[in-house]
Amino acid sequence: MAEEKPAKRILDVKRRPMPKQDHLERIKNFDEVALGYPIETAVEEASRCLDCKNPLCQQGCPVGIDIPGFIRHIVGREFAAGIRKIKQTNALPAICGRVCPQEEQCEKMCVVGKKGDPLAIGRLERFLADWEAASGKLEMPEKASKTGKKVAIVGAGPAGVTVANDLLILGHDVTIFEALHECGGVLVYGIPEFRLPKAIVQREVDYVQRLGARIRMDFIVGTTKTVDRLLEEYDALFAGAGAGLPWFMDIPGENLNGVYSANEYLTRVNLMKGYRFPEYGTPVKRRSRVAVVGGGNVAMDSARTAIRLGADEVHLVYRRSRTELPARAEEAENAEEEGVIFNLLTLPVRLIGDETGWLKEMECLEMTLGEPDDSGRRKPIPIEGSNFRMPVDAVVIAIGNSPNPLLPMTTPGLEVNRKGGIVTDPATARTSKARVWAGGDVVRGAATVISAMGDGRIAAASIHQYLTGQT
């Protein structure tokens, strides 16, 4: 009967804006830029959800979160139930809510987005995670009874922590081996404090420890103990060793002083707190004219870090146009707001130093766009004779990295591909070596936090099947 149908709602097409630190203020600190939705804003934003019968957004999520489910709880102000719903499938909501490229995933599929702004799913996920942390009432999930099986996890990054979470809930015994002196992997050494506060990463690591994970720091699997040695003690091993050596452009001058990989630049600042030198022991150079090469999120993070370190001018040098920038639109906007100058369609060809080995100039070529290449993006073509020089005293190269080489180098029988990534079966995350699974950047090179978590989820399911004799 027609009367029983809910009244057709007027589509609320306007996304509620995210409160942010003012750009003139935030360039002077490393505090988080996006402040999070207040409760009322979250409820309003959540109320824009159409609660589709066939939620496409969920298909867009690499870990398959029940999105309409948790949104419904926000609308009903049942926040505890909402966060419980998310945690059924996502161990790191406070992190994913902040750093997932939702516009490429869940939000891209959102039906509201066809008529207006898609629902701010990521912001709502973050809202629930922050609400739970602020409430101080952290709920622990039910754990299955102990299976007596032991799993070693290499790397306490997003992939490893996800595997740990899933396997602990299933009753297995988990030990995480972390090479660095802090847990979190790229979440602590790569992503800056102003985008992902380290206290939040610590909160999530504490959570898996409360679930029962043992963590061994300063333990480099491969050299401190080999994979084969660990397999004598453990029933299965997950390799989530993360990213490896940075890529350079293979142009003259890349070893000049003043030239950094983004990994080095960001590690000095984020993991080692170089911006607080000499209180912290690791120095970072405060340069006045910085160019960051690349167009991804890591390039944006580097450029925005350079601004906060007090550079007079920060340039982002990218060889294609604005349309092809791989970074999240939100991050590119933040960078521009903070004063980063975008030099698009520009390709560095040579770095020039002074007589003491310090960088002083960068020679570039102007580019134009040709036909789409294999990646589907229009191919940048150099304009002959367009060479020009930019005076710079620091260049940060943020064009990607290979998978970490240490594990394959020290593990016989672990097959790697041409790019150095561990080869896995995508359906199970199994490697060529018996009882070894792998996922995240050690497989993919430089990918996203959520794809690492997705790999972790698949690996955990497959490890569980193996341990319980289902395969």
Contact indicator for 300, 335 with CB cutoff of 8 Å: yes
Q: Where are the alpha helices (DSSP H) in 246-384?
A: 262-269, 297-308, 329-337
- Give dist(CA 55, CA 22) in Å, integer: 35
For residue 278, say if its preceding peptide bond is cis, omega within 30 degrees of 0.
Answer: yes
Min CB(155)–another protein separation in Å = 10
- Give dist(CA 78, CA 70) in Å, integer: 9
Q: How many CA atoms lie within 13 A of 80 on its CB side?
A: 7
Nearer to another protein, 305 or 401 (CB): 401
Taking the CB of residue 338, how many other CB atoms lie within 10 A of it?
Answer: 19
- Give dist(CA 421, CA 442) in Å, integer: 6
Helix (H) or strand (E) holding 406: helix 406-410
Residue 100 DSSP label = S
Min CB(177)–another protein separation in Å = 11
Min CB(304)–another protein separation in Å = 19
Min CB(411)–another protein separation in Å = 14
Nearer to another protein, 190 or 456 (CB): 190
Contact indicator for 171, 194 with CB cutoff of 8 Å: no
Under 8 Å CB-to-CB from 134, ≥6 apart: which residues? none
Min CB(48)–another protein separation in Å = 41
Nearer to another protein, 127 or 238 (CB): 238
Nearer to another protein, 239 or 344 (CB): 239
Cα-based distances in Å from 93 to 7, 103, 210, 294, 449:
33, 16, 17, 28, 12
Nearer to another protein, 124 or 221 (CB): 221
Min CB(33)–another protein separation in Å = 25
Cα dihedral 214, 215, 219, 222, rounded to 10, equals 60
- The number of helix segments (H) and strand segments (E) in the chain equals 19, 16
Min CB(276)–another protein separation in Å = 8
Nearer to another protein, 221 or 367 (CB): 221
Nearer to another protein, 166 or 182 (CB): 182
Nearer to another protein, 165 or 305 (CB): 305
Nearer to another protein, 217 or 329 (CB): 217
Min CB(362)–another protein separation in Å = 18
- Give dist(CA 85, CA 229) in Å, integer: 39
Min CB(418)–another protein separation in Å = 18
Min CB(271)–another protein separation in Å = 8
If DSSP states are collapsed to H, E and C, what string results for 26-85?
A: HCCCCCCCECCCCHHHHHHHHCCCCCCCCCHHHHCCCCCCCHHHHHHHHHCCCHHHHHHH
Nearer to another protein, 54 or 356 (CB): 356
Min CB(378)–another protein separation in Å = 30
Q: Write out the residues near another protein by the rule CB under 8 A.
A: 179-181, 189, 217-220, 223-225, 242-246, 248, 254-257, 260-261, 263-264, 267-268, 272-273, 277-283, 356-358, 401, 404-406, 409
Min CB(404)–another protein separation in Å = 6
Nearer to another protein, 232 or 279 (CB): 279
Pairing of strands 173-177, 436-438: unpaired
Contact indicator for 91, 165 with CB cutoff of 8 Å: yes
Nearer to another protein, 27 or 438 (CB): 438
Lookup: tokens for 300: 């944006």
- Give dist(CA 163, CA 147) in Å, integer: 16
Amino acid identity of residue 77, one-letter, is R
